[in-house]
Structure 1
Amino acid sequence: MSAMLSQANVTMAAILNSTVSDDLLTTASTPTPMEEFQKSYGKVHGYVSNIVCIFGVLSNILNVIVLTRRHMITPTNCILTALAIADFLTMLTYLVYATYFYIATEPKWEANHSQGWMYFILVHNHFIITCHNMAMWFTVSLAVFRYIFVCHHVIGNRLCSLQRAVLTITIIVIATIIVCIPNYFLYKVVKLTEIVPVNVTGYWIVDSDFVKAHDFYKVLIFWFFGVIMKVAPCILLTLLSSMIILTMHQASKRRVRLLQQTRSSDHDVNHEHNRTTWMLVSVVLFFVITEMPQGILAMISGLNDHFFQEIYSNLGDVLDLLVLLNSAVNFILYCIMSQQFRDTFKNLFVLNWMCQRQQYGKVNGHQNGITQYTTVKTEVTML
């Protein structure tokens, strides 16, 4: 179990554990199909992940701008804003990591990495694990808030207040930082001359002295972060989503029976409420789809070290890409499924830009003796 993965970020742990080991200089055997796949995809992973990260960084900035407008501030949008910030930070550091490790150089000890870059990789790994775990529990809290609001609507407005949303976010941030502290003792940066019996230069990352002295520590961290902290939230999110969908289905049936007695405005409000709920359920389910496979594969790896070496570690780049896609997709879901988000986005960026162009034309028109009239569309509150 010495090569067990200990982080949510698969790729770096697999790189560090597979390239700096007791058999570092042994003759390489014939590559397996999975190793061939990892080698082939590794050549393009940096470029693919950079495209996803650039889109994700920009889209999450837009998410924060739109969701923090005065008329958009609600308990749900407060959690979505925290989720966007966590996703933004995750993708920002991964962008630098992928550019250096997969484009500028290679994720191999032979590349003669500098001490500064190795410390950056180490800090990046801890930082991205912390941010991603925050995003995971923000998603769980989002599902809990929506479950209470949909399934227990009478007490939902009282329990899911803005103050409680802010308190929830604060608790998640503090608790995640504390829970992730054990990760910080896993690795250290050393000179290659200390671990490789050949004349080389550069630095690399290896297991810390504490890990070497306590064999159980790495296995414990792997099971906690690699399995429990992935599988348990995914199971919880699946159950909450199922109950929300079931409740909406039952409410839809009742609404159909009472449709003739329902006013049109009430119908429109219910329709927008349902679209919002489906959007949030989509955010949750997409998270489950991208995270659950990692938890299942990690669980199998915990029971079979050969499976980790042959399958799991070679899928590290792909699993990283799934995490990045999950961090970048929310903006698309908001635009597709939320009328209020689309309207606010258009008012902020499209219409304001058009108004500026019109105002510029108006000024020029006055200068040429021509009077032009413009209209300004203001933001509409849709609470």
Structure 2
Amino acid sequence: MAAPNEWTDYFSPEQNYSKTFKPGIDITFPNDIIDVPRLNYSFNENATDSLEYSNFTSEDYCSSNHSHVYLNVTCEFPINYAEPMYGYIAPFLLATTTVANTLIVVVLSRRHMRTPTNVVLMAMALCDMFTMLFPAPWLFYMYTFGNHYKPLSPVRACQAWHYMNEVIPAMFHTASIWLTLALAVQRYIYVCHAPVARTWCTMPRVKKCLIYIGIAAFLHQLPRFFDHQYVPHVTVWRGHFEEVCRVQMAPWVHTLSLDAYFITYFAFRVLFVHLIPCTSLVVLNVLLFRAMRTAQINRQKLFKENRKSECKRLRDSNCTTLMLIVVVTVFLMVEIPVAVVTILHIISSTLVEILDYHIANILILITNFFIIVSYPINFAIYCGMSRQFRETFKELFIRGAVTSRNGGSSRYSLVNGPRTCTNETVL
């Protein structure tokens, strides 16, 4: 069982394992920093004259045992990696993701594009975009503008940092993971159990499913809004008094015990956010690929029999299936490494210490960064693999691009007809 100070925070796709909670610390730092509870603090304005002060480097300070007495971002992340990735590259990724995912939502929200599959794709695009938008102001402030070394204050700013950089992004990212699983399950039903799709893959049922996923993701992260407390403190920082935020766990967490709380949280996250979804997606991808191969053989037979209409529907279905397989594969490539490190973290914290957390911090920072890199890729996949998406995009944003509505595109030949389990998924 883990000791209280062995648990670390990993709450969001932008977070890592470096921040170890040390409850109940009230320490005077020699020659560098003095922490005193604000309510019991009084001082003379000239008190700084009697303090011996020396400038510690960030490495010196963060390698000390007291590096997390107050909120200091330099000590929470491997700064040599975080600053270039999140300070200089992330702003471009944010702009690209925002534009790309906004275009996805605009295109898929068109009336002739509103299908159960496209509704899930829109929800995924929104969740991915919000996962980046909420922490973006803090990433700019801390890394782009170089303020990561400063103690964060006041208390409300520390709470906003916690919510916007850790809790809310984790909520949207969790929802995105479950939406990806729902998309794969939906496509599996369409391809392998077509009669059932008429009942289960209707628009009302899909919308209810999206609402349930959103509520479940919120409830999963709900304790994270209340498990931390930020207490105002006054400290001597670089030779002058500075009000900072002292981090401590909420009393109700201590009532439950740190072990019980963190084991419950991480066990749920490992099982239902990482392990089960990733394993299920691998299995579903394999099944969909096999079904697609079988459908391809059947399509060749239909082509030889000159049954062009059925052959065309099967081709469209296969194209949609292949595109979704690619989307899920990209998702798995960036999510599985995070799942592996999370599982190793659980083992290291509860059973036997097997992780070098300096290396683990760097690995998780890099894998989380690649998750961000993957967000704009879906737009390229849709444009490259979906004729219907391409044509709708051209009509909306490229002047003079007009698509024939008389059979030139499968979407126009099917949109006015009865919705079936096949044409619902044609993109």
The partner residue of 2:125 within 78, 84, 92 is: 84
Q: Which has the higher contact order (CA 8 A, sep 6+)?
A: 1
In the superposition, relative to structure 1, how do residues 271 and 195 fare at CA in structure 2: closer, same or farther (>3 Å)? farther
- Contact 1:53–1:328 at 8 Å: present in 2 too? no
Aligned residue pairs total: 354
As a proportion of its length, which structure holds more helix?
1
In the superposition, relative to structure 1, how do residues 337 and 195 fare at CA in structure 2: closer, same or farther (>3 Å)? farther
Paired residue for 1:190?
231
Once the two structures are TM-superposed, the CA of residue 75 in structure 1 deviates from its matched residue by 0.6
Which deviates more from structure 2 when the two are superposed, residues 56-65 or residues 152-161?
152-161
Paired residue for 2:280?
236
| Partner amino acid, structure 2, of 1:59 | A
Which deviates more from structure 2 when the two are superposed, residues 67-76 or residues 266-275?
266-275
Paired residue for 1:313?
361
Once the two structures are TM-superposed, the CA of residue 60 in structure 1 deviates from its matched residue by 0.9
- Contact 2:23–2:249 at 8 Å: present in 1 too? no
Paired residue for 1:222?
266
Paired residue for 2:45?
none
Query: TM-score normalized by structure 2?
Result: 0.74
Paired residue for 2:44?
none
Alignment RMSD, CA only?
A: 3.1
Deviations 1:318-370 (A, max 9, x none): 1321221233221111111111000000000113xx48xxxxxxxxxxxxxxx
Paired residue for 1:253?
297
Paired residue for 1:349?
397
- Contact 2:9–2:18 at 8 Å: present in 1 too? no
The partner residue of 2:171 within 127, 130, 149 is: 130
Unpaired runs of 5+ residues, structure 1, are 356-375
Distance 1:161 1:168 in 2: 11
Paired residue for 1:52?
93
Paired residue for 1:322?
370
| Partner amino acid, structure 2, of 1:288 | L
Once the two structures are TM-superposed, the CA of residue 159 in structure 1 deviates from its matched residue by 2.1
Once the two structures are TM-superposed, the CA of residue 146 in structure 1 deviates from its matched residue by 0.1
- Contact 1:188–1:208 at 8 Å: present in 2 too? yes
- Contact 1:64–1:84 at 8 Å: present in 2 too? yes
Deviations 1:27-67 (A, max 9, x none): 7669xxxx9x9443222022212211211111111111000
- Contact 2:227–2:253 at 8 Å: present in 1 too? yes
Distance 1:107 1:208 in 2: 25
The partner residue of 1:264 within 308, 314, 339 is: 308
Deviations 1:95-125 (A, max 9, x none): 22311222224445x4344434312212212
**1:75 aligns to 2:116 (yes or no):** yes
Distance 2:6 2:147 in 1: 21
**1:203 aligns to 2:245 (yes or no):** yes
Deviations 1:116-144 (A, max 9, x none): 43122122122111111111111111011
Q: Say which SS state the counterpart of residue 111 (structure 1) adopts.
A: coil
**1:338 aligns to 2:386 (yes or no):** yes
Paired residue for 1:170?
211
The partner residue of 1:104 within 142, 145, 150 is: 145
Distance 2:215 2:63 in 1: 46
**1:151 aligns to 2:192 (yes or no):** yes
- Contact 1:7–1:129 at 8 Å: present in 2 too? no
Q: Say which SS state the counterpart of residue 201 (structure 1) adopts.
A: strand
| Partner amino acid, structure 2, of 1:292 | I
Q: Say which SS state the counterpart of residue 190 (structure 1) adopts.
A: strand
